[in-house]
Structure 1
Amino acid sequence: MGKLIRGLGLALALVTALAGTASAAPTEIRIGVALEPPTLDPTAGAAEAIDIVVYQNVFEGLTRIDENGAVQPGLATSWTISDDNLTYTFKLADGVTFHDGTTFDANDVKFSFDRISAPDSLNAHKEFYSVIQSVTVIDPLTVEFKLSKAVGRFLFDIGRGDAVIVAPESAATNATNPIGTGPFSFVQWDKGSRVVLERYDPYWGKPVALTKASFVFISDTATVTNALLAEDIDGTNNFAPEALDVFKSDPRFTVLVGTTEGETILGTNNKKAPFDNLKVRQAMAYALDRKAIIDGATYGYGTPIGSAFAPHNPYYVDLTGTYPYDPEKAKALLAEAGYPDGFSATLKLPPVGYATLSGQIIASQFAKVGIKLELINIEFAQWLQDVYTNHDFDLTIISHVEPFDIGNYANPNYYWGYDNPKFQALNETLNGTTDEAKRKELAIELQTIIADDAVNGYLFELAQTGVWNAKLTGMWKNSPIEGLVLRDIHWVD
């Protein structure tokens, strides 16, 4: 499973969330965010909205991912790796406490990873950690991992939100009362309104400047625009690009335009007719005019993609020419597939701007080749239930924002139902390869396979478009992993 969705149009909350927060102190911050998280436990949910609030803020992992996507020490201050890449020995930070005052040690690490692999685990990425053969406590500040096979990105994977360290005393209630080791502790969750965090002064690491952070759920672009202009909120990391010009010329604000890991796709149910027919999927790929979609849905801020990989990744290969826009070729392929007059299908859209706008544009483009789409707008909770969990859909539009998530295509039970043994074997080889040149070669081959198979319609990579009070600094321009990391944000004169 993967963390999902990045909203360009801010959605689904009450304007009343802003009440009483207009006069924040210089060490406090109020951030407008797109979606309310369904839970606050990142080890038990698939939504990016969870990590936006808690990743590296409330919860920490053995390693952490920085703004450039590099692995840094976290709760593990150092580590050694055996020559065969099967044994990792981690030295843990001393003097760390959870927010309830309980002590962090190697037993918590063992508990956290045993919990991920448990039969009743709700972890969104159990497959990343299935290679862990054993976790052994050597002493309170030393823990040893033995792997069943070498994994080239193991240190990255244990730095994801899925692998943060939790305590046995509080793990069961982290969904609504998260207790971690991070620089901020959870204070309150006003459902439909906001989540409030406060600085945890006994924090073991580098002290943070902010004393309080409120994540406010705001309804739409107009509302968040007004909230920013009125200084009812101090910023947002993901503002609607169509309205950025309002802030570019206003000296009160800083506009940050960076990259994300958000591959936006026309998600396709490969197990359902007619989408189980390669020629139909190829026809849809030829019917997509990416430039028109990017101009209309992201106001030119998206980057075209031809497969499921971020263009800034060193393993990326440009496959946008695999199926160039060609409506006549699309019609011919539909006829070859037995649909000379096209067909009808549904397109389920979550409540975010890039999806609803892309859906309208794609419906118009598909109509030109005979594919008639019924647009169905649904709430995100329903999207998770219908599309992601029950696979009850024809087509959908979504951004997959988790880094290096091409491995989802190796899971035939993932929601788009792609089952290719060759791809699965190559992905397994990639996962066990540590040589960078070979990893890149394999990653390019994997990208090419799913592009050729037109598993999904590959549309664009989302940009991160942040708008912040000009007196704030330390925000991440780029988003190499899910989360809105607060540790370096502070006010300046």
Structure 2
Amino acid sequence: MFIRMKLALAAVALSAAPLWAQQDSITLGMVLEPPNLDPTAGAAAAIREVTYANIYEGLTRFGPDGSVLPALAREWEISEDGLTYTFHLQEGVTFHDGTEFSAEDVRFTLDRARAEDSTNAQKQLFAAIAEVTVIDPATVEVRLSEPDGAFLFNMAWGDAVILSPDSADTNATNPVGTGPFRFVRWMQGDRIELERYDGYWGEPPALARATFRFIADPTAAFAAVMAGDVDAFPNFPAPETLAQFEADPRFSVIVGSTEGETILSMNHAHPQLSDARVREAIAHAINREDIINGAMFGYGTPIGTHFAPHNPDYLDLTDLSPHDPDRARALLAEAGAEGMTLRLMLPPPTYARRGGEIIAAQLAEVGIQTQITNMEWAQWLEQVFSGHDFDLTVISHTEPMDINIYARPEYYFGYDNPEMQRIMADLRATTDPAGRSALLQEAQRVIAEDHVNGFLFQLAKTGVANAAIEGLWENAPVPANDLTGVRWTQ
């Protein structure tokens, strides 16, 4: 027996296409340049900020409120035992190179993502898939090895977008998807340009052209928005200037929440950081409020675990790691770790560079010296994320509901706890909402009590835009600059 899930196709289009506005192009500012343009082969959030819902689409997708909506799958059925998903696909869909989309592309993509040699940064999203079967060109069946209560959620991630076997190998530099915008060109170090894909299967977007400009320097970002060189900067890097924009009727300031847990990551392969007493000492050395005020000018919510405060299952565990320098010094003495020097690697975002300087000063107060290295994004991904060559780093994890990274010993900070792995295995097999809630709260408490990382704050989404633009996401349930509903109002 099958449980039929009917979801209206209309939900895919977040807004109906209006009459073409007087202005049908937009230039958006971004702090970081993507290292490549294939979200199935790279972890950088900047890849998805350009490509998600614009160039590529998955079977499902996230809406601006974080809900899971139909995309290339118009509807689906789930077997009563929760092991079989039958997806009914949109018809008349083509990739930007003109090739037809079909169930074969879904099978290719999912098999590629879960393969032993997969380079997908979120390979665990596909771990429960046992077999993908093409029923007909518009129907594909996915059989799981065990029930996965988050499977439809997982299929909405940018890492699960559907690719064509004809273009998969070159998507890093010449992305080809099924989305409403097609790739035009990439002027490295400067911009990426997209244009409306006239063969798009769904509701056409109001915008005909979109340019993403890369401006890492906060002062330059402020100047670019003020001069009108950039129409919108959805993740604005200079929060100290937002009051100036709020006072100017030419602009709108858009403040929302993100899935970005900003943490001081600790490498558990380091002999001293593998000691929970040292990690707890670092947690007590940190003053979250000073970091939020000093680096983010008050924008951000303190967190005591790796979970978004806006989620109904969130536990406020900040009381497990209050700012307590005396306690930090005592723990370091107990662990024999006095006079320690640690390498602190900082990627380019403002929260990391500014926050890292503040953290270094706070650690110095309890006797921990740091050697700061400012890194470009590609270098950070290669050395820290992939190479695990670091002691400390400051990074915002912007993937949705990603507490499962603490059950992956091979993940870059190297936390290996069988209890956490058991909790995440139970969570995958649980579909009951109350049961999932209890497991998520248990997981939060385990990593907070173990002081796995220094949990700092939930990253706020602070954006600035021309006041005549509407449809930009206020919140960021996933790293994305979704342009499907963006338009000029005058």
**TM-score normalised by the chain length of structure 2:** 0.94
Alignment pair present for 1:170 and 2:167: yes
Alignment of 1:52-451 (within 5 A): 52-239=49-236, 240-339=238-337, 341-451=338-448
Q: Deviations over 1:110-165 (max 9, x none)?
A: 11111112233211111110111111111111110000001111001111111101
Identify the residue that residue 8 of structure 2 maps to in structure 1: none
**CA distance in 2 between partners of 1:488 and 1:367 (Å):** 48
Cα deviation, residue 25, structure 1: 7.0
Deviation at 1:46, TM superposition (A): 0.5
Of the candidates 19, 22, 29, which is equivalent to residue 26 of structure 2? 29
Q: Which residue of 2 aligns with 1:5?
A: none
* 1:19 matched residue in structure 2: none
Alpha-carbon offset, residue 363 of structure 1: 1.2
Counterpart for residue 8 of structure 1: none
* Aligned residues of 2:37 and 2:174 also touching (Cα < 8 A): yes
Q: Is the 8 A contact 2:22 2:488 kept in 1?
A: no
Query: 2:216·2:349 contact (CA, 8 Å) conserved in 1?
Result: no
Q: By how many angstroms is 1:342 displaced?
A: 3.2
Secondary structure at the aligned position of 1:244 is classed as helix
Residue by residue, what CA displacement relative to the aligned partner does 1:442-461 show, whole Å, maximum 9, x if unpaired? 00010100001101000000
The equivalent residue for 1:17 is: none
CA distance, structure 1, for counterparts of residue 94 and residue 378 of structure 2: 34
> For 1:180-202, what per-residue CA distance to the aligned partner results, in whole angstroms no more than 9, with x for missing partners?
10000000011111110000112
Amino acid at match of 1:244: L
**Which amino acid in the other structure matches residue 324 of structure 2?**
D
Q: After TM superposition, where is structure 1 displaced by more than 2 Å over at least 4 residues in a row?
A: none
Structure 2 unaligned blocks of 5 or more: 1-20
Q: 1:227 to 1:25 in 2, by over 3 A?
A: farther
Q: Which position in structure 1 is the counterpart of 2:483?
A: 486
Paired with 2:363 and 2:216, the residues of 1 have a C-alpha distance of 30
Deviation digits for residues 30-60 of structure 1 (CA, Å, limit 9, x no counterpart) = 0011111111011111100100001100000
Question: Aligned equivalents of 2:312 and 2:66: distance in 1?
Answer: 11
Question: Residue 469 of structure 2 corresponds to which residue in structure 1?
Answer: 472
- How far the C-alpha of 1:330 sits from its partner, in A, is 0.8
CA contact (8 A) 2:30 2:216 kept: no
Matches of 1:296 and 1:418 in 2, distance apart?
30
Structure 2 counterpart SS, 1:286: helix
Show CA shifts across 1:445-479 (max 9, x none).
10100001101000000000010000000000000
One-letter amino acid matched to 2:167: S
CA RMSD for the aligned pairs?
Answer: 1.1
Partners of 1:43 and 1:163 within 8 A in 2: yes
1:321 is paired with a residue of what secondary structure?
A: helix
- Paired with 1:263 and 1:203, the residues of 2 have a C-alpha distance of 35
Give the Cα separation in 1 of the matches to 2:216 and 2:461.
Answer: 19
**Cα offset, 1:255, TM superposition:** 0.5
Give the Cα separation in 2 of the matches to 1:229 and 1:377: 28
1:42 corresponds in structure 2 to 39
| CA–CA separation in structure 2 for the residues paired with 1:197 and 1:186 | 5
Name the CA distance, whole Å, in 2 between partners of 1:231 and 1:426.
50
- Return the offset for 1:108: 0.8
Instruction: Verify the 8 A CA contact 1:342 1:369 in the aligned structure 2.
Output: no
- Following superposition, the deviation at residue 331 of structure 1 comes to 0.9
| Superimposed CA distance per residue, residues 257-304 of structure 1 (whole angstroms, 9 cap, x where no aligned partner) | 000011010010112121111111111111111111111111100100
- Structure 1: distance between partners of 2:183 and 2:26: 15
Distance 2:285 2:169 in 1: 48
- CA distance in 2 between counterparts of 1:26 and 1:227 reads 19
Which blocks of at least 5 consecutive residues in structure 1 are unaligned?
Answer: 1-23
Instruction: Name 2:12's counterpart in structure 1.
Output: none
1:25 and 1:174 mapped to 2: Cα distance? Answer: 33
The DSSP-based 3-state class of the residue aligned with 1:137 is strand
Identity percentage of aligned residues: 55
Letter in 2 for 1:286: H
Residues 296, 357 of structure 1: 8 Å contact kept: yes
What is the count of residue pairs matched by the alignment?
469
* 2-structure distance, mates of 1:336, 1:120: 44
